[in-house]
Structure formats: structure tokens, C-alpha cells
Chains A and B, each alone.
Chain A
Amino acid sequence: MATVITVRAPFAFMRRLVSARLHRHCCSKLQAACFVSRPHSYSLIAGQQHRFFRTSYVAARPVLQFKLSDIGEGIMEVTVKEWYVKEGDKVSQFDSICEVQSDKASVTITSRYDGIIRKLYYDVDSIALVGKPLVDIETDAGQVEGPQEDVVETPAMSQEEHTHQEIKGHKTQATPAVRRLAIENNIKLSEVVGTGKDGRILKEDILNFIAGQTGAILPPAPFQEIRPPPPAAAAPSAPAAKPKEKMTPPSVPTPAIPKPVFTGKDHTEPIKGFQKAMVKTMSAALKIPHFGFKDEVDLSQLVRLRSELKGLAESRGVKLSYMPFFIKAASLGLLHFPILNSSLDENCTNITYKAAHNIGLAMDTNQGLLVPNVKNVQMLSVFELAVELNRLQTLGAAGQLGTADLTGGTFTLSNIGSIGGTYAKPVILPPEVAIGALGKIQVLPRFNHKGEVVKAHIMNVSWSADHRIIDGATMCRFSNLWRSYLENPASMVLDLK
């Protein structure tokens, strides 16, 4: 315990004097708890105290100058390349402060203290001098109790020992102040979930852990040993301190289950790029009154046809999926129902019937939704369609589609079923007036014309159309025609152009 001293002095001075002694005491406790004791650290702390008294005695929160430490190889000046903090930011000891560069070496400078950044001495691309101040850090009042080794002057080795414990091959990062808190409360750091950067354990994590404790700590068991709690308190899988429970004998009533504390934080970022494009397009689509029409298509015959043709297409170097058939059937249908391939002008005064069938394909790339279109489908054979689809898919995956491929569409199909799903409610892409979403192909039992139950390959289609110019009957008839082409591919051959 701290010895009692009677001192006549200003309050702030006295407080620091008392806390400096406490700090030395605590450090000696820390020494005992550490894996390896470092005798020369004592002299450091004595030196540290000296430092303390030199800082401003008016402020209760000392502002410490953090000087740029020696980088090695006799280098005296470096270029500041990047700041990771700005004035007013809170930093913990060992957080990265900035990146400097000298002679092809990039060096990460980390903070020596916990506190708030009060001043940056250099701009990006200016030359910083070794040994001169880099930043000013205002340390917290609470920091006064913690040890503040001037880490860089010591050999790197002792720093490593103090801050990194290898536990089962997993490093537990925590500042010495946090470690002291854990030791004082008999907490093993390996049992606390860190929520700081890189899984570092913060003071809050220890405090939460203490709040969640039910009593003595069990010998540490691997994670799968957590006893299933009674149904009332469901433990979420979110990062939370999972306290170990005492295994109670049946006669004792169930212990109170501590509430796990969720420490996740919201994250806001601006909308840009692919998302911004989607926001723009879909907001414009809001103006269109959509109606939906859904149906079921029996693709059994198409499945047979495709499996016959697949080998032939591959011998010509092309992957044949179902999409070329769906697209070609749609184009044949549009020949009979040209209103579905039209565009309405802004004031809804004129309809333009587009001559070309430029059918768009919704494509899911790792950056987001892309809708390139195949131009003039009415002139292409199924095979040529497959070639074109392959080309668009390759370009889309590589991020090399041009504006010509992404604009000028007149009708769109979305094969969401390739990922999953049955029915959908697709949104029309302006300036088009209709869109279809194709669900996945499922094998289901159906009755045939003889009343027998047979295996059928069933796919669901969901159409959306602009109800200002398209009525339900038109959509239904188009869908029936499209369906008939696919259910009986031989009829497609008759009408193929």
C-alpha cells in the first residue's frame, strides 16, 4: 500500500507526488507479475519521475512532447509521408502515429503514450529531424498512474517482454496500464476478448469483463467448453466477453446469467462508385408504376436440348448455358409484342418503338451490379448469342466493359436463379419498360397430359412492366408465347430469324 506522507504543497503538486509514488509501487508489483524482470527498468522509472516534475504544473493534464526517435543507420532526417492521426484524436500507446520514409525504408512511428494529439509538427512531405519533436500528446489524468517508459531509448527487447505475452501461440496485446488492471483483478488476459485495434485489449474490455464475472475463474478451457446457458439468456455470436460459468451441483439454484456486452460500433461511409450508379438508376425507376406477372415454365425439353448441344458448342470453343435460349425466345416474343421493347419519353407524350432488340443481362460482379446488353439479338443465332455472352462475361469480370456495352438496352433479363431463388420482383431499368427475372431450375413432380406424375424441370419467371403503357393482358400473352417457345423448342425453330 502507499505510505502516508505529510507534505505541504499546492494540491496539483501533491497529487502528482502521491501518484508518482503509487506508480512506482505499482510498477514493482508489475515487475513481479511479469515473465521476466528487467532490473534496469527501475532506473527508467526514476528517470520518468524526474520528467514528470518538469512538465507544466499549471495544467492537471501534462502535454508531453514526443520526439522522433533514432531510426538507425545514422539517419538524421526523414520525410513525413502520411499521418494516421490529426489534432484532437485520441491515441493509445503503440497506436501508429505516422509513416516516415528515408532512403527506401518506410518506418511506422508508434505512440509512446495514451492521450490526445495536440499538435503535429510537420506537414506531409516535409523533412522531419531525428531527436526533434514530432507531436505533442496530452495525456489523460488516468494515465498519470500508469507506467510511461520512454520506450525507444530502451533496447527493443524489454519493450517486447512487457507488452507481448505468447499464450498458446496467440499474442495478447495490451498496454502496461491495462495489464496492471487485469493483474490487480486476477484476470487472465487470454480470457478477455479485445475490442481494440488488432484485437488489442482495452481498459473498457477489462471493466466489462469484471462486470460480467460471476465469481472465481475456472481453469482456462478452450472456447468450445462454454456451457450452454439457460434459454432465457441467449448468448449472441457477436464479439462479447464470454464469461466462464461455474458448474453448479443440481441442488443449487441456477446462477444469474450475466448479459453479454456488445461493443460493436456503427460505421458510416459515403456512397460512391457502383452503389452510387445503382442509387441513381433505381431512384429514376421509382417514377415507373410497376406491375408484376409471374409464371412457371417447364423446361424439361430444353434441358434435353441443351445437353445435346453443349458438346458441340464446346468444340467450337463456347460455353453454352440456358441464357442464349431465354434471350432468343424473348426476342422472338418481342417481334409479336413490340410495345415491350419501347421507351416512353419524359412527359409521357410519345412512345418510341425501338427497332433493335438490345437485351440486357444483369451481371453480378464482385464490385456490384452491372447490366451490359447484347445488341441486335433479333439478328443473332443462339450460338452467336452464346459467343457474345461469353465476351461480355469475361469483360465484366475483368472490369473492362465500355459505356457502349452498358447503355442502349431496350429490354432486360436477370438470371438471379443462378445464385438462387424462385420468384422475384425486378425493378425496370429506365428508359426501358419491361424486365424479367428468372428463378432457379428445380426438379419437381408434375402431371403430364396422361394424368401421370412425371419428373419436370421447372423454372419460375417474374416479369415487371410499366403499367402506364403496358397492360396485364399484353404481358401475359407475351409471357405465354415466350414460355411456349421454351417448353417446346421445336416451335422456336419454326419462327427463328
Chain B
Amino acid sequence: MVLRLSNRACVLSGSARLKSTLSTYFDEMGKAGIILKSASTGIFENLALEDWIPDRVDLQNRSMLLLWRNSPVVVIGRHQNPWQECNLPLMRRLGIPLARRRSGGGTVFHDFGNINMTFFTSKKKYDRHRNLKVVTSALKALRPDLDVAATDRFDILLNGHYKISGTAAKLGRTSAYHHCTLLCSVDRSILSSVLSNTSEVIKSNTTPSVPSPVKNLLDVDPTLDSNTIMDAIASQYSNEFGFDSPVITVDPTHEGLMPGIHKMAQDLQTWEWIYGRTPKFSVCSSIVVDDVTIKLDMDIKNGAVGQCAMEIPENWLPSEMVNEFTSTLNGSNYCPNETTVLVAAFMRTVSMTADVAEKIHRLCAGVVSVM
């Protein structure tokens, strides 16, 4: 049985329940507020759950809180530029995936030491300050002398200085959700290295994230672990809104219970969504190959190379070869794997001498290092 109920839950009666979806189950429960915990630590499954709930559950007379955690991943906001926000080559080396969420806001790093909370309401009841009050009150209830406070910009600061929570929201036609992070015991060295980006090569209109000093709650109080905090937030949610909410664990991979959720998770993993959704930008870079400085100019729209221009000294590589190389890249995705495959096909089909081939290898490696 997928639904596991803890404390004050309704009795599930066998097979009749299996045929209904999560949505009808909520309707039948008749509660005004429900707390969910995700059984998955996969970012795409959890983001799909965030999409599924406002789409399929009636939120006009009911609000929900979802608590979730993920294995290490970098999550960018809907309109952000991953090449600008995070260190993609390092992430590839460390095997940390990238996800793009549907809400706005900035770039964050999640791991098991980070708690995510999503407050689902109707559009009328959307109130971010009240939601954050739930979090700060819960923390203060656990440790009364903890100095945590929410700011105007919907951040939560510890000791007035360290950011422990960031916020983002998504409003639809009739419902809305507000989610925020909470740093309990995140690996801060990985966080700072994957989110650091000193590359000057990107020119765009997107405003980059503003980095802030961060701290873990565990650093100030070793007894504050994620589970304790999640329980405190759950009960404070019920107190604040006057709900009698049961806490239900949900498995977001269960398609039968949540029809359509599998496709939502697939949609979130396509290259077109994660990278291709970046607003247009251009890349101006100089790479050094064999002691030769090469200037690279590319316009990227929808994640694909629109116009690629390279300035290469004629004596290093003949211009027809350069033109063929750049035309190979035109129209392809701004992605190291695709670029490599296209250049390999180019090298197979255009005859060239061995030393030219060597140069093209190194040129390609240089171009790919920028991506």
C-alpha cells in the first residue's frame, strides 16, 4: 500500500481506495488542511509532484503543505541561465545533476541536509509572509533563543546575517504555491563551489542570483536535525492555520494514484526544459589552443547556437575549414556532448590531413570547455 498514514489518519479500506486517485482521496477525507511528505528524494519526481497537485487537486477549499528533501542537485529558477548561475563543468565531474523548477527566484543547491517546504493554496489565500511565519515560529518553538527572522524579500536570516532560507513561488490561474528551502545540515563546501561562477563570458539580460553568506542550523545547535525540524514545522502549520491535518507520506512515482505525474517528471528532465528554456544570451570568449588565441562569439537562443563566429589566424587553420567548423555548430544545442558528436561526424566526412585533424580535436576541446 503506497499511502502510509501517521497519527490521526483515516482508515484506508482496501481495494476501493486503490481505484481512486490521490485527489479523490483528499476529497473524501474532507480536511481543510493536509500535510504531505514525499517518499522520494529524486528532484524531478518531487518537482513533478509540485506540478501535479495544483493541477489535479481542488485547492479552493483546502490548503496543503508538502515536505521534501533531495539527493544532491542544483536547482535553477524558471528564467535563469545555468551557464551563468552555476559551475557546470564541476557539476558534471561530481555527478551532480541540474534541474530547472517552474517557479521564479534564484539558484539553490539541495542535498539531504536541506528541507524543502511547499505551501499550496488557492490564489486568494496566497500569503507568503504567513507561510514564513510558520517556519520561524516552529524554529522558535524548538529553540526559543534562536534568532531567526523573515525579511521583506522573503528570505529567512539567522542572527540577522546568515541566509538559511530562500523563497520562490508560482501562481497559476486559480491556485498558487510558495516554496522555500531551509538549511539544516547542507554540505557548504560543495554548495559554494557548485554555485560559484566567475566566468565573464556570458552576456545576457537575466539578472544573476545574488550570493549571500549562509549557515546551517545544525552549526548553531547540533540537536536540530532535519526530522526534528520537519515535525515542528508540520505541527506549527496546523496551529497557524487552525487545521486538523494528518501527515501523509506520498510516493510520487505511483502513476495509478497520480495519473499524469510520470509524464510531468519526464517533461522536467528534457534538455529543452532544463537548458533550452534559457532566455537568449551571447557568449564572448577567448580560448587558447596551441598557444594560439581564438576569439569565440556565439548567440544562443532557446539553448541552441544561433550564430557562431570564430576568429582564428589564417596560418593556423585555413578559413574554409573554420567556416565548415562553425557551420557545423550552427543550429545545434549548446551542449558539449552534441557538439562533440557533430564535430566527430564533420571530421569523418571532410577529408583533412592528420595535423589539421589534431588541431580540430584541440579546437573542439577548447570550445566545449566553455559550455
Contacts and interface: CB of A to CB of B under 8 A. Distances in A.
16 contacts: A101-B79, A104-B77, A106-B78, A106-B169, A106-B170, A108-B170, A160-B174, A164-B58, A166-B27, A169-B20, A272-B304, A272-B338, A281-B345, A281-B349, A367-B338, A407-B348
Interface in B96-138: 102-106, 122-124, 126-128
Interface in B279-330: 279, 304
A407 B123 contact: no
Contacts of B77: 104, 106
Interface in A191-227: none
Contacts of B153: 103-104
A103 B152 CA distance: 10
Interface string A238-274: 0000000000000000000000000000000010111
B331 A431 contact: no
A166 B26 CA distance: 13
Interface string B262-291: 000000000000000001000000000000
A76 interface: no
B199 interface: no
A203 B106 CA distance: 41
A231 B237 CA distance: 60
Interface residues of A, number: 57
Residue among A81, A107, A281 with most chain B CB within 10 A: A107
8 tightest A-B CB contacts, nearest first: A406-B344, A277-B345, A105-B169, A106-B104, A399-B337, A169-B24, A104-B105, A284-B349
Contact of B128 (A73, A94, A155): A73
A104 B169 contact: yes
Interface in A264-302: 270, 272-274, 276-278, 280-281, 283-284
B170 A407 contact: no
A345 B351 contact: yes
A390 interface: no
A48 to B, nearest CB: 19
B174 A159 contact: yes
Given A103-B154, A272-B331, A346-B351, 11 more contacts: A101-B104, A106-B103, A108-B170, A125-B205, A157-B60, A160-B174, A276-B331, A280-B349, A367-B338, A402-B368, A431-B351
A268 B58 CA distance: 37
Interface string A378-420: 0000000000000000000011111110111000000000000
A408 B352 CA distance: 12
Residue among B127, B304, B361 with most chain A CB within 10 A: B361
A71 B169 CA distance: 12
A170 B332 contact: no
Given A104-B167, A106-B79, A270-B331, A171 B56 contact: yes
Nearest to B346: A280
A143 interface: no
Contacts of B361: 403-404, 407
Nearest to B128: A73
B259 A367 contact: no
Interface in A338-371: 345-346, 367-368, 370
Contact of B338 (A160, A274, A429): A274
B174 A82 contact: no
B8 interface: no
A430 interface: yes
Interface in B161-209: 167-176, 178, 205
Interface in A414-467: 429-431
Contacts of A234: none
Given A72-B123, A82-B79, A276 B173 contact: no
Contacts of A345: 351
Contacts of A407: 344, 347-348, 357, 361
A281 B171 contact: no
Residue among A94, A105, A171, A400 with most chain B CB within 10 A: A105
B169 A273 contact: no
B100 to A, nearest CB: 11
A49 interface: no
Interface string A149-189: 00000011101100010101111000000000000000000
B345 A169 contact: no
Nearest to A82: B79
A99 interface: yes
A169 B169 contact: no
A99 B348 contact: no
Given A160-B58, A430-B348, A403 B168 contact: no
Nearest to B24: A169
B173 A108 contact: yes
Given A160-B60, A169-B21, A170-B259, A406 B104 contact: no
A407 B351 CA distance: 13
Contact of A401 (B60, B337, B342): B337
Contacts of B20: 169
A34 B335 CA distance: 51
Interface of A: 71-73, 81-82, 94, 99, 101, 103-108, 110, 124-125, 155-157, 159-160, 164, 166, 168-171, 270, 272-274, 276-278, 280-281, 283-284, 345-346, 367-368, 370, 398-404, 406-408, 429-431
A110 B104 contact: no
Interface string B336-360: 1110111111111101000001001
B333 interface: yes
Contacts of B336: 399-400
A266 B323 CA distance: 35
B347 A403 contact: yes
Contacts of A108: 170-173
A272 B306 CA distance: 12
A406 B341 contact: yes
B341 A277 contact: yes
A231 to B, nearest CB: 33
Nearest to B344: A406
B40 interface: no
A94 B331 CA distance: 33
A71 B56 CA distance: 22
Residue among A99, A169, A430 with most chain B CB within 10 A: A169
Contacts of B364: 403
A273 B337 CA distance: 9
Nearest to A110: B173
Contacts of A81: 78-79, 279
A169 B23 contact: yes
A403 B103 contact: no
A280 B345 contact: yes
A416 to B, nearest CB: 19
Contact of B102 (A106, A159, A273, A368): A106
Contact of A106 (B171, B332, B368): B171
B85 to A, nearest CB: 15
B171 A272 contact: no
Interface string B20-51: 11011001000000000000000000000000
B341 A274 contact: yes
B332 A276 contact: yes
Contact of A281 (B24, B176, B348): B348
Contacts of B343: 403
A479 to B, nearest CB: 25
Contacts of A94: 173
Contacts of A105: 103-104, 168-171, 178
Contacts of B351: 345-346, 431
Residue among B56, B78, B332, B344 with most chain A CB within 10 A: B344
B206 to A, nearest CB: 9
B321 to A, nearest CB: 15
Interface string B70-112: 0000000111000000000000100000000011111000000
